[in-house]
Amino acid sequence: MNDTVPMIEMRHVSKHFGNVIALNDVSLHVHAGEVMCLLGDNGAGKSTLIKTLSGVHKPTSGEMRVSGEPVRFKSPAYALDSGIATVFQDLAMIPLMSITRNFFMGREPTVGWGPLKRIDWKQADRIAMEEMARIGIDVRDPSQPVGTLSGGERQCVAIARAVYFGAKVLILDEPTSALGVKQASVVLRYIAKARNDGLAVIFITHNVHHAYPVADAFTLLKRGTSLGYFRKSEISREEVLNMMAGGAELESLDAELAEFQRTPAESQTASRAAIS
Ramachandran sector of residue 214 (left: φ over 0; alpha: ψ -120 to 50; beta: rest): alpha
Select 15 or 195, whichever has its Cβ closest to ligand ATP: 15
Select 6 or 45, whichever has its Cβ closest to ligand ATP: 45
Site for ligand ATP in 1-20 (CB under 6 A): 17, 20
Minimum distance between the CB of residue 177 and ligand ATP, rounded to whole angstroms?
A: 9
Select 23 or 215, whichever has its Cβ closest to ligand ATP: 23
List of long-range contacts for 179-184, beta carbons under 8 Å, 24+ apart? 179/151, 179/152, 179/155, 182/152, 183/150, 183/151, 183/152, 183/153, 184/152, 184/210
Select 42 or 196, whichever has its Cβ closest to ligand ATP: 42
Minimum distance between the CB of residue 197 and ligand ATP, rounded to whole angstroms?
A: 28
Select 43 or 228, whichever has its Cβ closest to ligand ATP: 43
Select 38 or 163, whichever has its Cβ closest to ligand ATP: 38
Minimum distance between the CB of residue 159 and ligand ATP, rounded to whole angstroms?
A: 20
Q: Does 273 bind ligand ATP (CB under 6 A)?
A: no
Minimum distance between the CB of residue 60 and ligand ATP, rounded to whole angstroms?
A: 12
Minimum distance between the CB of residue 255 and ligand ATP, rounded to whole angstroms?
A: 27
Q: In this structure, how many other beta carbons lie within 10 angstroms of the beta carbon of residue 14?
A: 17
Minimum distance between the CB of residue 94 and ligand ATP, rounded to whole angstroms?
A: 24
Minimum distance between the CB of residue 219 and ligand ATP, rounded to whole angstroms?
A: 12
Site for ligand ATP in 21-60 (CB under 6 A): 22, 40, 42-48
Select 60 or 67, whichever has its Cβ closest to ligand ATP: 60
Count of residues near ligand ATP by CB under 6 A: 11
Q: Which residues bind ligand ATP (CB under 6 A)?
A: 17, 20, 22, 40, 42-48
